[in-house]
Amino acid sequence: MRKYSVQALLLTFVSFLLLFLLSPSIPQPQWYHHFADNRSFFGIPNALNVISNFPFMVIGLIGLVLCHRRSSYFNISLEGELWGWKCFYAGVTSVAFGSSYYHLHPDDASLLWDRIPMTVAFASLMAILIIERIDAKKGIHAIVPLILIGIISNVYWRFFGDIRLYVLAQSAACIAVPLMATLLPPMYTHSPYWLWASGFYLLAMLQETTDRVIYAFTFHTVSGHTLKHLSAAMVPVILTLMLAKRSVYSEKLLHVCNT
Average pLDDT estimate for 41-65: 97
With b meaning 16 or more CB within 10 Å and e meaning fewer, what string describes 84-119?
Answer: bbbbbbbbbbbbbbbbbbbbeebeeebbbbbbbbbb
DSSP state of 186: P
CATH annotation of 36-257: 1.20.1070
Residue type, 112: L
Average pLDDT estimate for 194-199: 96
Instruction: Answer for the pair 74, 243: CB distance below 8 angstroms, yes or no.
Output: yes
pLDDT: is 252 or 210 the higher one?
A: 210
66 pLDDT above the threshold of 70: yes
With b meaning 16 or more CB within 10 Å and e meaning fewer, what string describes 11-22?
Answer: eeeeebeeeeee
58 pLDDT above the threshold of 50: yes
In DSSP terms, 188 is beta-bridged to 248
State the pLDDT at residue 44. Answer: 96
State the pLDDT at residue 72. Answer: 72
170 pLDDT above the threshold of 70: yes
Alpha carbon 101 to its chain centroid, in Å, reads 18
Give ∠ CA 250-253-254 in degrees, rounded to 5.
85
Q: Please report which confidence band the pLDDT of residue 91 belongs to, taking 50, 70 and 90 as the band edges.
A: very high
State the pLDDT at residue 69. Answer: 80
- pLDDT tens digits along 214-230: 999 999 999 999 999 99
259 pLDDT above the threshold of 90: no
- What 3-state class would DSSP assign to 155? helix
240 pLDDT above the threshold of 90: yes
79 pLDDT above the threshold of 50: yes
Average pLDDT estimate for 80-99: 97
142 pLDDT above the threshold of 80: yes
pLDDT: is 103 or 79 the higher one?
A: 103
47 pLDDT above the threshold of 90: yes
Instruction: Answer for the pair 215, 223: CB distance below 8 angstroms, yes or no.
Output: yes
Q: Please report which confidence band the pLDDT of residue 254 belongs to, taking 50, 70 and 90 as the band edges.
A: very low
Average pLDDT of the chain, as a whole number = 90
With b meaning 16 or more CB within 10 Å and e meaning fewer, what string describes 123-143?
Answer: bbbbbbbbbbbbbbeebbebb
The fraction of the chain above a pLDDT of 70, given in percent, is 88
Alpha carbon 159 to its chain centroid, in Å, reads 23
Average pLDDT estimate for 48-60: 98
8 pLDDT above the threshold of 90: no
172 pLDDT above the threshold of 80: yes
